[in-house]
Amino acid sequence: MNNPFIINTYKSRELFCDRENELQLMLRNSINHTDMTLISQRRMGKTGLILRLFDEIATVHPDIHTIYLDIFSSRNIDDFIKLLAEATMKSFKPKTTIGEKLMTFIKTMRPQLTFDNITGEPQLMIAYQSPHEKEYTLRGLLEFLDSQEVPIIIAIDEFQQIRDYPEKNMEALLRTYIQQTSNLTFIYCGSKKHLMADIFNNEKKPFYSSTSFVSLGKISAESYSSFIQRLFNEYDRDIDVEAIDFILDWTRRHTYYTQQLCHTIFADGEHHIGISEVKAACEQLMQQGEAIYLQYRQMLTVKQWSYLIAVAKEGTVSQITAAGFLSRHKLGSASTSQRLADALCDKGLLNDDISVKETTYSVNDVFFSHWLERL
Ligand SMILES: Nc1ncnc2c1ncn2[C@@H]1O[C@H](COP(=O)(O)OP(=O)(O)O)[C@@H](O)[C@H]1O
Ligand SMILES: [Mg+2]
């Protein structure tokens, strides 16, 4: 029996909770050729939402083509081109007109083309003579897509990765090529909020103000609650309302953690789920994480570790320089506190949630946060 609480990728709309507003907004932007930037904390559901959007488009606008690539693993412009070309090949099936034209075009890149034994997916190796040739290939690929005269949406996940490329002109190049297209709509997605904001919101940078922002917060308690109820019921399980409230509270409605906890409860196999079954699953998850949490401790200084515990004990901290917080946890001065918080955000262990009024800090990994609370 399949576990309906998915924890790795998008499966189907039945197993996907809500996001209706975001979906409609992104659908409208897609139809209107409005490029988008999708930013949120890690594991809130950006990738899932893009795949949900593409699923919707396949149903209601089958004329629009979609291409998804995740550039997290890319180290340079070569990798970027390779990932874009492979994603394009995956999107246009070989026996279609565009698919055939694409194969002809790909061959002009003189790649070594192989197919993965297991997935059957194309893998390209392209040898370049010069940096100029790479730029030419990248532009050629985008021009090829644009010249097909069909609307195409290209989602580039973990887009901030381009900031790590040795080619420092990557942003300017991409922006220039993209600006010259008219049938392509882009979705830039990323979890490193500060980098993403700098790429799209810094007037000195090429992508400044070129996209419409879509922000992704938490799913509402009402939606998540009925989603959880429905999925358990569909598998002949029943779950108490208090148990659901406990799940949403304990996981702070941070999508991945909510899904993971429900996944574990479901896997535990009880037919009636009350608070005690939920608590048992929470214990299980914290225990499973322990080896990694102890590795984090190795990575950090004693002060950073104590700081993490302090934030975890508070749950969320809106004023990290406030006297109360500093003295409660013996953290020293306000500037020390700010420095520690910045360093831990950089390492991805703390999350800073910036609103107009204040910046709220919390431990990024919800299960880790609960584990730290007890120290
Ligand atoms: N609306 C949703 N309903 C159910 N599960 C979701 C939803 N959004 C995301 N998920 C699941 O939560 C996890 C984290 O989501 P993901 O899209 O990978 O986050 P991000 O890309 O923001 O890091 C994934 O396992 C995904 O399947
Ligand atoms: Mg993602």
Ligand number nearest to the C-alpha of 48 = 1
> Ligand 1 test: best mutation among 2, 255, 262, most atoms within 8 Å of CB?
255
Ligand 1 contact via 5 beta carbon (within 6 Å): no
Q: Residue with structure tokens 């002949």? A: 236
Ligand 1 contact via 68 beta carbon (within 6 Å): no
Ligand 1 contact via 165 beta carbon (within 6 Å): no
pTM for this predicted structure: 0.95
Residue 128: per-residue pLDDT: 82
Query: Which residue has its alpha carbon closest to ligand 1 atom 4?
Result: 16
Ligand number nearest to the C-alpha of 260 = 1
181 CA from centroid of ligand 1 (Å): 31
Residue 112: per-residue pLDDT: 80
177 CA from centroid of ligand 2 (Å): 25
Ligand number nearest to the C-alpha of 158 = 2
Assess contact for 261 and 285: CB atoms under 8 A.
yes
Ligand number nearest to the C-alpha of 49 = 1
Question: CA angle, 162 as apex, 121 and 182 as ends, to 5°?
Answer: 75
Q: In the chain, count of helices (H) and strands (E)?
A: 15, 12
Residue 351: per-residue pLDDT: 96
Residue 368: per-residue pLDDT: 98
Ligand 1 contact via 19 beta carbon (within 6 Å): yes
232 CA from centroid of ligand 1 (Å): 19
Q: Is the dihedral of CA 114, 116, 117, 120 positive or negative?
A: negative
Query: Which residue has its alpha carbon closest to ligand 1 atom 10?
Result: 45
| E strand map for the chain | 36-39, 65-70, 111-115, 122-126, 152-157, 184-190, 212-215, 238-239, 272-273, 316-317, 350-354, 359-363
Low-confidence ranges of the chain (pLDDT < 50): none
Residue 94: per-residue pLDDT: 82
Assess contact for 37 and 50: CB atoms under 8 A.
no
List pLDDT tens digits, range 142-177.
Answer: 999 999 999 999 999 999 999 999 999 999 999 999
Ligand 1 contact via 259 beta carbon (within 6 Å): yes
50 CA from centroid of ligand 2 (Å): 9
Residue 125: per-residue pLDDT: 86
Ligand 1 contact via 191 beta carbon (within 6 Å): yes
> Ligand 1 test: best mutation among 43, 46, 69, most atoms within 8 Å of CB?
43
Ligand 1 contact via 225 beta carbon (within 6 Å): no
Ligand 1 contact via 16 beta carbon (within 6 Å): yes
Residue 168: per-residue pLDDT: 92
Residue 40: per-residue pLDDT: 94
Nearest ligand 1 atom to alpha carbon 15? 4
> Ligand 1 test: best mutation among 55, 259, 262, most atoms within 8 Å of CB?
259
Torsion of Cα atoms, 158 then 159 then 163 then 165, to 10°? 80
List pLDDT tens digits, range 227-282.
Answer: 999 999 999 999 999 999 999 999 999 999 999 999 999 999 999 999 999 999 99
Q: Residue with structure tokens 């399949």? A: 2
Residue 26: per-residue pLDDT: 98
334 CA from centroid of ligand 1 (Å): 36
What are the distances in angstroms from CA 77 to CA 73, 82, 131, 205? 12, 9, 9, 18
105 CA from centroid of ligand 2 (Å): 30
Structural domains of the chain in order of their starting residue, each with its CATH number: 19-215 (3.40.50.300), 221-299 (1.10.8.60), 300-375 (1.10.10.10)
223 CA from centroid of ligand 1 (Å): 15
